[in-house]
Structure 1
Amino acid sequence: MRCLPLLSALALALLVPAFAAAQPVPETAPLVGLDGTHQVDLVSEVNGHPYRLYVAPPEAYAADDTTRYPVLYILDGRRTFPAAITARAFQDIYDGLDDVILVGIGNGEQTFDAWFAHRWRDYTPSANAATDSAVAVQSGQPPETIVSGGGPDFLRVLREEILPFVDSAYRTTDDRGLTGQSLGGLFAVYALFEAPGLFQRVGIHSPSLWWSDGETFAREAAFAEAHTALPAHVFLSVGSEEGDAMVPPMERLAEGLRSRGHDGLTVDAVVFADETHTSVVPAQVSRTLRVLYGRSE
């Protein structure tokens, strides 16, 4: 057994009693928040569900200024919004990003089950009862809470309620972005084709393109048949360790979009090496800011 140097052992002996005597943190101790951010709770008239917005204007935002800013809407806000704040803070050290208002969208969920049910409802563009049932059994959740197909209503919530609220409460431009991962990525693709022009910058990450036997590819093909323009900068990504159900479909979608030659469309895509479906998320958030909002000259 190694012996600690005398000085280190003495220091440890002096410190241990102090740690041992420490008292529990009182319940009245202030909670830690994210500096410069706001939280707003809304109840939708479209679908009757609550939503919580996490808003972070850029550092330059000031009450006595008239400058207006683009907005990036971030799905799964309670979990991804903090990552976006951190990524922006580091990239802003060397003025790496254009100023942008960040808005995380959640529903105030405090448990994993509530978060999962919320995103399963809102981020799926069509109903699939068989998949609902299988997932409820697999996750051990009550079947009545796992109900898909709320994507069209959630798109209305965005278009008719959340976006107008943010535009009225903050100094915004009509330059809007949307980014999501997994089911959130599936919804981002859906919004890209279903509401072209609503979002000019779109992050599509580890998208669940397996949904309903790959119906997204049929939707993309139908869009291409009917449209020659798609004014958007699209950034797609996936982790290399996400497997055959995730990596090839993302690459297929990226190549399909590039091949269409839509007027106004820019497509960037990356496969993050050695990353899984969950470990890749912070990298996706950070790279989305860099690709879609990298400082313009």
Structure 2
Amino acid sequence: MVGQRYTINSKILNESRNYSVYLPASYKNNVDKKYIVAYVLDGDRSKFLEVSGIAQSMHSDANLKLQIPELIIVSIENTDRTKNFTPTNSLNYLDREDISAFKSSGKADDFMRFMEDELMVEINKSFRTVPQSMIIGHSLGGLFALHCLLEKPQLFSYYLLIDPSWFWDHNYIGKRSKEVLANRVDLKARIYIALANNMQEDKRHYQWGNQFYKLLKENKSPDLKVDFRYFEDEKHLTVTIPATYYGLRYLFEPYTIDINEVTKDPSVLVNYSAKIKKELFFDTKPDQSFVNTIGYVALYDRQLPDIAISIFELNTKNYPQSINVWDSLAEAYTVRGYMDKAKKCYEKILTLSPANNIAKTKLEELNNKIKQRN
């Protein structure tokens, strides 16, 4: 079974709320690593599996895919989504003013306080997280995410907005954004907006989405990055899967490590951490496992032992306490014939793990080869 389901008793909402948590593959064994949390709205079981599956597939070092960092997925189930996700009380839908299903609307501020003061506090207490979080919202969920961006932008660093409900209360978000964005020059976020083809229903959806995108593009905040995509072949209810993939891909674009770039020039990894800090706002190093995998591709598949050595050497600088990276570097040195350097690697492993019998055996084999050579 994927993930685990939890319940939180909310004093702010005066109700119990269910949510599911997916932990990435490395979470259990990599006990020092911290993770970005992606909060998924409308988070029933199918949505939880959808987002978790896409995120897992996009970070797979075994398959040489490192498009995004590993994410903790928190998928929040609904009780009354109209109440929770809408910023104003309104019965309006496009040209109608009598939508009785909207009577409970207008409590987005309460839900935002629930997320900030209760749910996110609980998640940060229970799991290893970085300060930067993501919100993924579709339809009214996208409307709520837009509301967070305008009213409390520091709450999230990454916004994946999937065909948001621009229509709400006569395009309330469009009007509010003109007021807010005109005076903000300190927004620090990456934003992806996906629009579905709703032209047969009403062209205003597309127009309002475009208008909001242009307002963001015109904003003078130096740390604000935004992208927009119109999915002509997708409807409102089918756009979520492609939008989630392309959204994650854009939002974490700087995180990508291209195997061909690294095997051509391993020094591209040297400035990686600074680039991530500047463009994604958090501290990280090039992924140890992925870089190691690239090193083996260079060593054996592409027959580039010197390149492989450079890659492994960079990995030992980034992860000097890792037995695995020292063992990989020793292997590359051995293939290249640098026995003395390989010997030092195994000696380093034994300082980290004195009882490591594999390292002891390999060190003994190397010493015998060195004696024979001399």
TM range (shorter): 0.7 to 0.9
1:92-142 superposed Cα distances (whole Å, 9 cap, x missing partner): 3423321111111114xxxxxxx6xx1111000111146698333xxxxxx
Matched, 1:134 2:101: no
CA drift at 1:157: 0.3
Give, in whole Å, the separation in 2 of the partners of 1:87 and 1:146: 35
Kindly provide the amino acid, as one letter, of the partner of residue 50 in structure 2. Answer: A
Q: Corresponding residue for 1:67?
A: 33
CA drift at 1:197: 1.2
Kindly provide the amino acid, as one letter, of the partner of residue 124 in structure 1. Answer: T
Which of 22, 37, 40 is equivalent to 1:56?
A: 22
Q: Corresponding residue for 1:178?
A: 135
CA drift at 1:232: 0.5
Give, in whole Å, the separation in 2 of the partners of 1:119 and 1:283: 23
Matched, 1:82 2:49: yes
Give, in whole Å, the separation in 2 of the partners of 1:130 and 1:282: 28
Matched, 1:99 2:82: no
Conserved in 2, the CA contact under 8 Å of 1:83 and 1:286?
A: no
Local SS of the residue matching 2:187: strand
Number of residue pairs matched by the alignment: 247
CA drift at 1:150: 1.1
1:212-266 superposed Cα distances (whole Å, 9 cap, x missing partner): 1111122112212332121000100111245413222111111111012223100
Gapped regions of structure 1 (runs ≥ 5):
1-32, 108-114, 137-142
CA drift at 1:49: 2.5
Matched, 1:123 2:89: no
Matched, 1:282 2:249: no
Q: Corresponding residue for 2:184?
A: 227
Higher relative contact order (CA 8 A, sep 6+): 1
Matched, 1:207 2:172: no
Give, in whole Å, the separation in 2 of the partners of 1:227 and 1:133: 33
Kindly provide the amino acid, as one letter, of the partner of residue 36 in structure 2. Answer: P
Local SS of the residue matching 1:77: coil
Matched, 1:196 2:153: yes
Distance 1:266 1:104, change over 3 A: same
Structure of higher CA gyration radius: 2
What TM-score results when the alignment is normalised by the length of structure 2? 0.62
Kindly provide the amino acid, as one letter, of the partner of residue 135 in structure 1. Answer: I
What TM-score results when the alignment is normalised by the length of structure 1? 0.77
Local SS of the residue matching 1:128: coil
Gapped regions of structure 2 (runs ≥ 5):
258-374
Q: Corresponding residue for 1:17?
A: none
Conserved in 1, the CA contact under 8 Å of 2:174 and 2:211?
A: no
Local SS of the residue matching 1:204: strand
Local SS of the residue matching 1:97: coil
Matched, 1:167 2:131: no
Give, in whole Å, the separation in 2 of the partners of 1:281 and 1:170: 27
The percentage of aligned residue pairs carrying the same residue is 23
CA drift at 1:69: 0.9
Distance 1:127 1:241, change over 3 A: closer
What's the C-alpha RMSD, in Å, of the aligned pairs?
2.0
Any runs of at least 4 consecutive aligned residues in structure 1 with deviations exceeding 4 A, and if so which? Answer: 129-133
Give, in whole Å, the separation in 1 of the partners of 2:210 and 2:104: 29
Matched, 1:45 2:11: yes
CA drift at 1:175: 0.8
1:36-85 superposed Cα distances (whole Å, 9 cap, x missing partner): x1111112100212211111121111166121111111111114221111
Kindly provide the amino acid, as one letter, of the partner of residue 265 in structure 1. Answer: L
Local SS of the residue matching 1:208: coil
Give, in whole Å, the separation in 2 of the partners of 1:282 and 1:170: 27
Conserved in 2, the CA contact under 8 Å of 1:129 and 1:147?
A: no
Conserved in 1, the CA contact under 8 Å of 2:55 and 2:71?
A: no
Kindly provide the amino acid, as one letter, of the partner of residue 74 in structure 2. Answer: V
CA drift at 1:164: 0.3
Does 224-233 or 38-47 show the bigger shift?
224-233
Give, in whole Å, the separation in 2 of the partners of 1:85 and 1:72: 10
CA drift at 1:187: 0.6
